[in-house]
Structure 1
Amino acid sequence: MLQDLLKAADANDVVEALPYLSGTWGGEGPSVARTGPYLRRTVSRAPTATAAEIDTAVTRATGYARQTADLAPAARADILEAAARNATAHRDRLARILALELGKPLKDSRTEIDRVASTFAVCAAEARRIDGETLPVAGWNTGVGNTAFTYRAPAGVAVAITPFNAPANLLAHKLGASFAAGNTTLVKAPPQAPATSAAVVALLIDSGMPHQAVQLLHGAGDVGAALCAADPVSVVSFTGSAETGAAVARAAGAKRLALELGGNAATVVCEDADVAAAAQVCARTGYSNSGQSCISVQRVYVHRSRYREFLDAFTAAVDALVVGDPLEETTDVGSMVDDRAAERVVAWAREARDLGARVIRGGTRDGATAAPTIVADPPAHASVVVQEVFGALVAVLSYDDFDAVLDQCNTSRYGLQAGLFTHDLTRIVAAWRRLEVGGLIVNGSSNFRLDHVPFGGVKDSGFGREAPRWLIDDYTVVKTLVLRGLSVWGDSRELPKEDS
């Protein structure tokens, strides 16, 4: 199947992204076409899962969970390592599918596939590390004479719902960690990236993943809701908007949830910062993937003494970005996911201007391609400050007091990640303590992530941490074994008296 997907993309044919159900590629539901946002033509097509297919997939998953759990961690790790090698081998062709479906520039698409390979390798390493504990029960009087152990057991049936903005790597995180933990996984692909999702699943199957470990379904939110609500499902991992995350939680009910939701990321540039370097980093990471990342640079607060210097350098760096065809090697900024998303950037820039801000660059679109937009000095209640833009727009604001700017950052309903440019260790520690975020990047923007480091947020940015080691905690349950009357510890409550 993987070769069929890659060949169709190479030939600019419509990529048929089939579901993978009960070990077979194919589905009976009505097909939905995906229009490439830059090419403006159908680039992929996927059958929507029917109610009967959902029911069958869930029913089969119950039996598959037991079979997958029987696969030794070493075997799981070997398969994931093979998948890492295969992702690297097919890097350029997989990147082309991403560029076609999402308008993501080839250079960014290749980076995402590199991260897929890295993520699978990390998942393999974590599969080999799954363990348990010998508990110190004899340290308390009630435990004397007993022994207790724990181990992390597979949760059983997992549901993975992935977003469109990084569909390959986020699927690698969710499915790779779930398999490393010994689960079977029901994957609900994003409608905007069915071929990318099918390619990742096919790559894993070609690498030796047993069919019992994964099933892939296509469709909209109703398919995801049905999977989340299914009784056999033990854990749900979802990445997407806060609003959809709330709907996922309602549908799932009393199940284990890992929710990585929205963001409105702030980056603070202090007066002691290397302003030229900060401007370059913020320009590069504010518009990569057209700003469609939950940690994309959205609000930049610059100390007033360096504000003009930063704004000039930032504007020059944005002007140097190449906007255009995502299939061109030189393109830095391609299209957004669709016209509606690009129009949001235009509308919010217009609103900010009406509220007194200056739109220094952009504020326009060509179809789904939003011009990189810079909004200077928007008021605190403007949408570009309050809401998640999730687009090619960065707001630049000045501040006078460090303590006050930390409070400004915290006014957001989101709390995923923040950036801080300074060499002052006192400020670094203060920001780490006080900022209501899951992660702080020092001398980098908010938009930086290592796939083997815990990633997740607070407030409306969700809960749980999305990196293989921490996801495995969500994907496993602690099981305890107590041996009554059998102790590996000393079990005498007092020593015998010495013979006289």
Structure 2
Amino acid sequence: MMPADEISRVGCLVAGEWVHTGTWDDREGPWTRTVVSSTRQADEHDVGAALAWARRGAKAVGRMSPAARAAVLERAAAETIRQRDRLARLLALELGKPVKDGRGEIDRVADTFTVSAAEARRIGGEVLPVAGWARGVGTTAFTHRAPVGIALAITPFNAPANLLAHKLAAAFAAGNTTIVKPPPQAPAASAAVVEILLESGMPAEAVQVLHGDGRLGGALCAAPDVGVISFTGSVATGAAVARAAGAKRLVLELGGNAATIVCDDADIAAAARICAATGYSNSGQSCISVQRVYVDRGRFDEFLDLFTREVEKLSVGDPLDPRTDVGSMVDDDAAERVVAWARQAAEAGATITTGGRRDGATVAPTVVASPPADARLIRDEVFGAVVSVSPFDDFDEVLATCNDSRYGLQAGLFTNDIRRIVTAWRELEVGGLVVNGSSNFRLDHVPFGGVKDSGFGRESPRWMIDDYTVVKTLLLRGMSLFGDQEGAR
């Protein structure tokens, strides 16, 4: 059991104050099996108070200069690096995420703050060429991007720090105030990111934090004052968010069952090593984690053997141990889903070459060879420490196989054939393609998002600022930057 003084007590941040009176909910760490954080739950009064504060705060934040907002974010980036180990420890305790993965996530938080600062400085507008049409002669028109006002950020458990950084930093860079609803599984890590921003000079009017369940999320999504919602999570919850939101701007990132293709000309050893590293990081709990690998039949046995050996090298254990590659999953139910889906595939004719078992919330990294095409491991999002490996005979056919999914977030492709690369980029129904890397690679300053049931909108500060701002037009009649003579007809 953790000492009482090591249990994080996390309040709600409402109207500039951390509130600690009311109902509390405990989070039990999936590895420690003891309470690691306790969170004050928001109520109806908090929702009303937060929305009222946000209405007033939106004006104050919108009046900050882009330079001032950028300076806050740059200070927060430096402070995040200073607190890197503390934040990684919180992620390990609350989620079972290995500290090596946690440190990587915190490095990305700092990068995201820095990129958001740069994008704050780039926000501008246009002088429009209105005099190119007869009715525009004698008029000058400008646009600028104005803040939406109030943003709602609903964040997931699997990358709670960095995905919060994306949503909150981009919203602030654009001049908005944000209400944050963190995941119940990682309240302390989420609050720590917000605290860093406040310590770095983010005004109290710019952010509030409300903890709670789906009912809280529904109430916030339905609030007329909220202008834009950014949500990352499951398809079912995303649909509920959209229904509750009504006619609001939405950025939805809803997961996937990412495929990676390994062609006959690939460096098979490198592909096996990369897929092993990226298929099981964070116990496979990533929307772009390698889930399906399709290998040219002529190289299939070679890849499967090398891949299985690479997977068996992964160190499984205490997430606080810096040598650990794979910690625990978010809870026992998630772990049971992984082993159950692997078992179902094996019962239908697949082969489990390694893994296939769990100890509590910790799943031994599992490889399933040649599952049937209708296996849940192929059709649905497993979001766990299991990867399927299947052979293919024809490149065009494997592209069709990858597309035979309701998801379309990101894919990987190992080949040096430029024609295959261009064909895959054109034909694959995904938001992004990684060449000579697996599906599980992301740069935080590059647009990220999917198609089909993987959602819509793009995450990355530059593209998120488009969603967090509105275009406002100014027309000056009888005043022209251009020639105002209509000429002969």
Give the TM-score range, shorter chain.
Answer: over 0.9
What residue is the counterpart of 2:452 in the other structure?
459
- In 2: Cα distance, 1:354 partner to 1:61 partner: 54
- Alignment of 1:313 onto 2:291: no
How far does the alpha carbon of each residue in 1:241-277 deviate from its partner, in whole angstroms, 9 at most, with x for none? Answer: 1110000000100000000111100000000000000
Residue of 444, 461, 471 corresponding to 1:478 = 471
How far does the alpha carbon of each residue in 1:149-197 deviate from its partner, in whole angstroms, 9 at most, with x for none? Answer: 0000000000000000000000000000000000000000100000011
What residue is the counterpart of 2:54 in the other structure?
61
What residue is the counterpart of 2:352 in the other structure?
359
- In 2: Cα distance, 1:60 partner to 1:211 partner: 10
- In 1: Cα distance, 2:42 partner to 2:310 partner: 45
- Alignment of 1:390 onto 2:391: no
Residue of 234, 246, 252 corresponding to 1:253 = 246
* Contact in 2 for aligned 1:302/1:396 (Cα 8 Å): yes
Partner amino acid, structure 2, of 1:324: G
Tell me the SS of whatever aligns to 2:446: coil
What residue is the counterpart of 1:52 in the other structure?
45
Q: How many aligned positions are there?
A: 488
Q: Give ranges in structure 2 of 5+ residues lacking alignment.
A: none
What residue is the counterpart of 2:94 in the other structure?
101
What residue is the counterpart of 2:123 in the other structure?
130
How far does the alpha carbon of each residue in 1:264-321 deviate from its partner, in whole angstroms, 9 at most, with x for none? Answer: 0000000000000000000000000000000000000000000001001101100100
What residue is the counterpart of 2:134 in the other structure?
141
What residue is the counterpart of 1:419 in the other structure?
412
The Cα of 1:28 is off from its aligned counterpart by: 3.4
- Alignment of 1:150 onto 2:150: no
What residue is the counterpart of 2:232 in the other structure?
239
- Alignment of 1:274 onto 2:267: yes
TM-score scaled by length of structure 1: 0.96
- In 2: Cα distance, 1:360 partner to 1:350 partner: 12
- Alignment of 1:166 onto 2:159: yes
Residue of 201, 205, 208 corresponding to 1:208 = 201
* Contact in 2 for aligned 1:263/1:388 (Cα 8 Å): yes
- Alignment of 1:299 onto 2:292: yes
How far does the alpha carbon of each residue in 1:72-130 deviate from its partner, in whole angstroms, 9 at most, with x for none? Answer: 10000000000000000111111100110000000000000000000000000000000
What residue is the counterpart of 1:434 in the other structure?
427
What residue is the counterpart of 2:369 in the other structure?
376
- In 2: Cα distance, 1:195 partner to 1:244 partner: 23
* Contact in 2 for aligned 1:34/1:42 (Cα 8 Å): yes
The Cα of 1:17 is off from its aligned counterpart by: 1.2
- Equivalences for 1:75-114 in 2 at 5 Å? 75-114=68-107
Partner amino acid, structure 2, of 1:385: I
The Cα of 1:12 is off from its aligned counterpart by: 6.8
Partner amino acid, structure 2, of 1:138: A
What residue is the counterpart of 2:281 in the other structure?
288
Partner amino acid, structure 2, of 1:241: S
Range with greater deviation from structure 2 (459-468 or 13-22): 13-22
Residue of 190, 195, 212 corresponding to 1:197 = 190
- In 2: Cα distance, 1:368 partner to 1:223 partner: 27
The Cα of 1:361 is off from its aligned counterpart by: 1.0
Tell me the SS of whatever aligns to 1:233: coil
State the identity %. Answer: 67
Residue of 21, 33, 43 corresponding to 1:40 = 33
- Alignment of 1:338 onto 2:331: yes
Q: Give ranges in structure 1 of 5+ residues lacking alignment.
A: 1-8
Partner amino acid, structure 1, of 2:236: E
The Cα of 1:215 is off from its aligned counterpart by: 0.2
Residue of 328, 337, 340 corresponding to 1:347 = 340
- Alignment of 1:401 onto 2:394: yes
Partner amino acid, structure 2, of 1:378: P
- In 1: Cα distance, 2:488 partner to 2:140 partner: 20
- In 2: Cα distance, 1:132 partner to 1:380 partner: 50
* Contact in 2 for aligned 1:10/1:93 (Cα 8 Å): no
The Cα of 1:495 is off from its aligned counterpart by: 7.5
Partner amino acid, structure 2, of 1:116: V
- In 2: Cα distance, 1:421 partner to 1:41 partner: 43
- In 2: Cα distance, 1:26 partner to 1:477 partner: 33
The Cα of 1:60 is off from its aligned counterpart by: 1.2
Tell me the SS of whatever aligns to 1:330: coil
* Contact in 2 for aligned 1:263/1:414 (Cα 8 Å): yes
Q: Extract structure 1 runs of 4+ deviating beyond 4 A.
A: 9-12
What residue is the counterpart of 2:21 in the other structure?
28
What residue is the counterpart of 1:4 in the other structure?
none
The Cα of 1:29 is off from its aligned counterpart by: 3.3
